[in-house]
Structure 1
Amino acid sequence: MKESWHVAGLGGVDPHDDARAVRAWRWMQWALLAFSLLAIPAFYFELAVAAWFHPVGRALYACMSAGFVVVLARVTCLSRKPERFLTRNGYDVLIAAGAGISVAGGMPPWSPLEWVLRIFFVGLVAARIVLSLRGFFSPGRLWLLLVTAVLLLASAGAGFYWLEPGVHTYAEGVWLAFESSATVGYGDMAPTTPASRVFAAFVVLLGYGLLSLFFASIAANFVEQEERILRREMHRDIKALRDEIAALRNDIQTRGGDTPVAAVAVDPVNPAPSHPGESH
């Protein structure tokens, strides 16, 4: 990975490390992404009104923490420099510790300090998810961005339908999700509970980012088409220039072959040229 990710604690495995560790990390990082996704439902299960949701949220946090620990421990055992690997991936170590602490956290309603800590932890996890998927969100994958945006809108609609008392249907939840992600804010609907407001904050951040990437990808496609036309014209001009150079070369060679050259006979004994009728 780039040096900036190494400094941020997301350095992965050193390319010069043991080959088994490099191969294992290639697959294990997707397992970490899957475990990271558990933090989102876990956070909101603990905010649910029904008490039986709370143990489910803690169980998801426990699975997340155990998954991170197992993956990091596995790659650490394969690495030739385990301390260096853990240092390069301090961000994941922090997430594993935060998920473990969340299991032992207090029950809602949370204190202001616990609210701040939990939101900070979910923000860390959300940033890790985005960074893990950064390779997929390229300008050439417009369809993937569109599918992701639709899934996010559908999931956010369900989240608002579940968390916000003022949303009475799933369609209203989708509409509130669209208003939030597009930062339109018509004012007809708004989050009112702490849970739905925190959820709206993440929907705004993720939705605005996806919309920006989507429209940037469309613009990049237009620019790419213009560049493709310019490249074709440039290749056509280069080919024409090569043909002209080849024609000039052939013309020069042809003119050089038509020029008469006087034949001179040289006597091997007497180097002086011999002329017809000259007596020796």
Structure 2
Amino acid sequence: MKESWRVAGLAGVDVHDDARAMRAWRWMQWVLFALSLLAIPAFYFELAAASRFHLAGRALYASMSAGFTMVLGRIAFLSRKPERFITRNAYDVLIAAGSAISVAWGALPWSPLEWLLRVVFVGLVAARIVVSLRSFFSPGRLGLLLVIAVLLLASAGAGFYWLEPGVHTYAEGVWLAFESSATVGYGDMAPTTPASRVFAAFVVLLGYGLLSLVFASIAATFVEQEERILRREMHRDIKALRDEIAALRQDVQAAAGGEARVAAASAGPVKPAASHPGESH
């Protein structure tokens, strides 16, 4: 698994690297996670018609690029092999470069090529966010998954309320977010603008995956209860089997001791050895 992360460019700091670099990476990787979150509002701010939102989006991209560059540069400075560290984290280098390009390139309306590149870039950032949280997305953490699911629906509802003209209330935005994440598709509401459709694509990908984890966690809870009962029964059977084996061993030892006593008794007393002529008495 670690080898796959190295090939993907998300390997972090090598365990054999400098201790200072490893300590810095433990908390700086969460700085990179926070910076990655800036790409989502930046993408939609640049789609807004108001110039202040457009400038805010570019400012977020600039902050993201500068932050990634400083963090990667700091860890590379502390690393014994900075070239190897940069190679192991080529994915983050790509995000830093993509956010820098997003600052200087692209006045509205976007061309089809720029639409494609920007959607791919946001998809790469979204994948990095999921990878950063992979340790939290385990089926055994039902409570945490439910909280994240509620937050996702709440934020997605606000996003649809802002981006979709057909959504007139926040409740309708939450309903559209649920329809999208659950892939229900009743047809009563649907994204109509390019911005809301792109947003819906990410809601489907993240929401469907998260809901799948929630249901998997619920199923795992019932399976775990049955496994716990089976483990208790297995331990009880193993204990009973050990007691039977111990009792059987005692019986075998007792039987062996009895046979030895019977054999000794049937042999009779030991006769003294006959004396030879000429021996002194």
TM-score (norm 2): 0.91
Task: State the match for 1:277 in structure 2.
Answer: none
Task: State the match for 2:211 in structure 1.
Answer: 211
In structure 1, distance between residues paired with 2:274 and 2:66: 102
Q: Residue type of the partner of 1:34? A: A
Which moves more between the two structures, 190-199 or 46-55? 46-55
In the comparison of the two structures, how many residue pairs are matched?
Answer: 272
Q: Residue type of the partner of 2:36? A: S
Q: Shift in Å at residue 255 of structure 1?
A: 3.6
In structure 1, distance between residues paired with 2:211 and 2:246: 52
Within the alignment, does 1:148 sit opposite 2:148 as a pair? yes
Q: Deviations over 1:38-72 (max 9, x none)?
A: 10011111111222111111111111111111110
Q: Shift in Å at residue 264 of structure 1?
A: 8.4
TM-score (norm 1): 0.92
Q: Residue type of the partner of 1:150? A: V
Q: Give the root-mean-square deviation of aligned CA atoms.
A: 2.0
**Counterpart secondary structure, 1:52:** helix
In structure 2, distance between residues paired with 1:206 and 1:161: 18
CA gap 1:143/1:273 in 2 versus in 1, 3 angstroms: farther
- Structure 1, unaligned runs of 5 or more: 275-279
Task: State the match for 1:132 in structure 2.
Answer: 132
Q: Residue type of the partner of 2:137? A: F
In structure 2, distance between residues paired with 1:272 and 1:210: 93
Within the alignment, does 1:272 sit opposite 2:278 as a pair? no
In structure 1, distance between residues paired with 2:42 and 2:84: 31
Q: Shift in Å at residue 266 of structure 1?
A: 7.9
Q: Shift in Å at residue 37 of structure 1?
A: 0.4
In structure 2, distance between residues paired with 1:220 and 1:241: 30
Q: Shift in Å at residue 25 of structure 1?
A: 1.2
Q: Shift in Å at residue 250 of structure 1?
A: 2.0
Q: Residue type of the partner of 1:4? A: S
Q: Residue type of the partner of 1:107? A: A
Task: State the match for 2:244 in structure 1.
Answer: 244
Q: Shift in Å at residue 198 of structure 1?
A: 0.6
Q: Residue type of the partner of 2:226? A: E
> Does the aligned pair in 2 maintain the 1:266–1:273 contact within 8 Å?
no
In structure 2, distance between residues paired with 1:265 and 1:36: 96
Q: Shift in Å at residue 273 of structure 1?
A: 8.8
Q: Deviations over 1:81-127 (max 9, x none)?
A: 11111001000000000011111122221111111111010000000
**What is the correspondence of 1:25-174 to structure 2 with a 5 Å cutoff?**
25-174=25-174
Q: Residue type of the partner of 2:133? A: L
Task: State the match for 2:278 in structure 1.
Answer: none
- Percentage identity across paired residues of the two chains: 82
**What is the correspondence of 1:170-189 to structure 2 with a 5 Å cutoff?**
170-189=170-189
In structure 1, distance between residues paired with 2:36 and 2:69: 12
> Does the aligned pair in 2 maintain the 1:10–1:92 contact within 8 Å?
yes
Q: Shift in Å at residue 229 of structure 1?
A: 1.8
Q: Deviations over 1:226-265 (max 9, x none)?
A: 2222221111111001000111122233344453544988
Q: Shift in Å at residue 74 of structure 1?
A: 0.9
Q: Residue type of the partner of 1:234? A: M
- Structure 2, unaligned runs of 5 or more: 276-280
In structure 1, distance between residues paired with 2:47 and 2:53: 8
Q: Shift in Å at residue 140 of structure 1?
A: 1.1
Q: Shift in Å at residue 128 of structure 1?
A: 0.5
In structure 2, distance between residues paired with 1:50 and 1:265: 118
Task: State the match for 2:229 in structure 1.
Answer: 229
CA gap 1:117/1:249 in 2 versus in 1, 3 angstroms: same
Q: Residue type of the partner of 1:247? A: A
